[in-house]
Structure 1
Amino acid sequence: MRKITRITTQKKSKNRYNIFLSEGQDEVYGFSVDEAILIEYKLRKDLELDDSMIDTLVKKDTVHKSYTQAINFLSYRMRTKKEILDYLVKKEVDSEHIKVVIEKLNKEKLIDDKEFADMFVRTRINTTIKGPSLIKKELIEKGVSGSIASEAVEQFTYEIQYEKILKWIEKKVNTKKNDSFQKQVQQLQVTLMQKGFTHDVIKDALADINEEKDDDNEWNALVYQGEKLFRKYQPKMSGYKLHNKMKESLYTKGFAMDMINRFLEENLEE
């Protein structure tokens, strides 16, 4: 048995205490503990400790330090169980201690993947232009199970997706002045699919933006593309062949045939 001879507060951390123990007639530094451990085990001067108890106190304090690290990590935002595990592994916490910390956090309801997923989806809806498929992928990458992720993204309904897409489209369409309206729509469709929105919602939203088409912008874009193509093809061909090549190229760029014919009539001699 060894006796506690002195307890002092650490200079750099007021909630941690150094425990000094007797060793024969001398006094030596034994170990340090957090204030929570000091109180829980009622450590005080002249208290006798055997080696088993000292080992228990040291282990308890080590776990507490790891728990405190996890709490600090959680203080910035909610985390998934996997994020906490990865963080503690990175901090080189013993695997047995990690298990204890996770169990304690679960018991205190400080980690909850379902609650995390619900909040994550709401935040993504309010702050990003990401669709449910991409958000679900992000959740799974953070360690949320597929079933929880699927359930969470159900709150991203068709109606919310539609309104979000429509507002985004209105800001984007007609911004690329040198592209046809149809090409812009196709590019918007590809981008929205990459952002994880569902096909049906994209299709419906894009079908409702035809009224955004500006005929003057469309004509100016056609003239720009037509003149560019003319400079490219005119040195290589002429007459009927040039006329058909121009028509084909402008059509593949999404311009309407009546506009193409008008441009060709005004700019090319048959």
Structure 2
Amino acid sequence: MARFRSSTSNGDDAEQREAAAAADPATRARDYCLRLLTSRPRTRAELAQALVRREVDQGIIDQVLGRLDEVGLIDDQSFAEMWVRSRHTHQGLGRRALLQELRRKGVDADVAAEAAQGLDREAEEERARQLVRRKLAASAGADERVRMRRLVGMLARKGYSQGLAFEVVRAELAAEGTDDELLDELRD
């Protein structure tokens, strides 16, 4: 006569497996990382910091992140490329600011530099022009020297090089009809 397990014992087995998995620190760490990754992409360093804050053992951190890396859930190169495109397009950030943000997120300097290379000078210059045009309308009527200083400062804060900032502001003010003498001051 064959013995059959009752349906209650199958449920108990499943509960025991879940309890054992929940007790395993590596499983808890992996599950936490997966929850973090569902909200947005993250760098390996960001996940490592999150696990350190939860006081997870370094060996478990290395194991979990290694496995997530193997299966392609962590890819700092793809993250950096996506970050550069997104922040340049939506926030108007220049190359310098993008590199700084990627370093803060723990992306390797070489990986960050390679991702920023995808941002060509023409695209960076055009985005700077868009930012300046938007601010020009808002600052109409203000002293021309003040406008120039504010526009160059705005581009510098967004990570554009000084040379590019001066070049773009000068060209946009010239197109608006600003006095040539004031524009010459901007060149110096």
The equivalent residue for 2:19 is 32
Secondary structure of the residue aligned to 1:111 is coil
Q: Which runs of 5 or more structure 1 residues have no equivalent in the other structure?
A: 1-5, 11-15, 20-30, 36-57, 216-253, 255-270
| 1:152 lines up with 2:139 in the alignment | no
The structure richer in helix per residue is 2
Which whole-Å CA distance do the structure 1 matches of 2:12 and 2:36 have between them? 25
Deviation at 1:116, TM superposition (A): 0.8
For 1:66, the equivalent position in structure 2 comes to: 29
Give the aligned length. Answer: 173
Instruction: Give the aligned partner of residue 90 of structure 2.
Output: 127
Question: What whole-Å deviation, never above 9, does each CA across 1:209-231 have from its counterpart, x for those lacking one?
Answer: 1121478xxxxxxxxxxxxxxxx
User: What one-letter code is carried by the residue in structure 1 that aligns with 2:15?
Assistant: Y
Counterparts of 1:68-107 in structure 2 under 5 Å?
Answer: 68-107=31-70
3-state secondary structure, aligned to 2:20: strand
Runs of at least 5 residues in structure 2 that lack an aligned partner in the other structure = 1-8, 183-188
**One-letter amino acid matched to 1:207:** R
Matched, 1:18 2:16: yes
Q: Alpha-carbon deviations, 1:129-173, whole Å to 9, x = none?
A: 211101110100000111111111112211111111111111111
The residue that corresponds to 2:160 in the other structure is: 197
- Secondary structure of 1:205 counterpart: helix
Amino acid at match of 1:102: L
What is the TM-score normalised by the length of structure 2? 0.81
Answering whether residue 182 of structure 2 is matched by residue 211 of structure 1, we say: no
Shift of the alpha carbon at 1:32?
Answer: 2.3
Distance 1:143 1:151 in 2: 15
Structure 1 runs (4+) greater than 6 angstroms displaced = none
> Is the 8 Å Cα contact of residues 79 and 111 (structure 1) preserved in structure 2?
yes
Task: State the match for 2:6 in structure 1.
Answer: none
Does residue 188 (structure 1) correspond to residue 151 (structure 2)? The answer is yes
Distance 1:134 1:86 in 2: 22
Shift in alpha-carbon separation, 1:206–1:214, aligned structure 2, 3 A: closer
- The whole-number CA distance in structure 1 between the counterparts of 2:63 and 2:117 is 33
Normalising by structure 1, report the TM-score. 0.58
Distance 2:176 2:156 in 1: 21
Encode CA deviations 1:17-52: one digit per residue, 9 max, x unaligned. Answer: 226xxxxxxxxxxx92349xxxxxxxxxxxxxxxxx
Which of 87, 97, 102 lines up with 1:139 in the alignment? 102
Task: Please give the root-mean-square deviation of Cα atoms over the aligned residues, in Å.
Answer: 2.7
Provide the rounded CA distance (Å) in 2 between the counterparts of 1:211 and 1:96. 61
Q: What residue is the counterpart of 1:168 in the other structure?
A: 131
Distance across 2 between alignment mates of 1:196 and 1:18: 54
- How far the C-alpha of 1:122 sits from its partner, in A, is 0.7
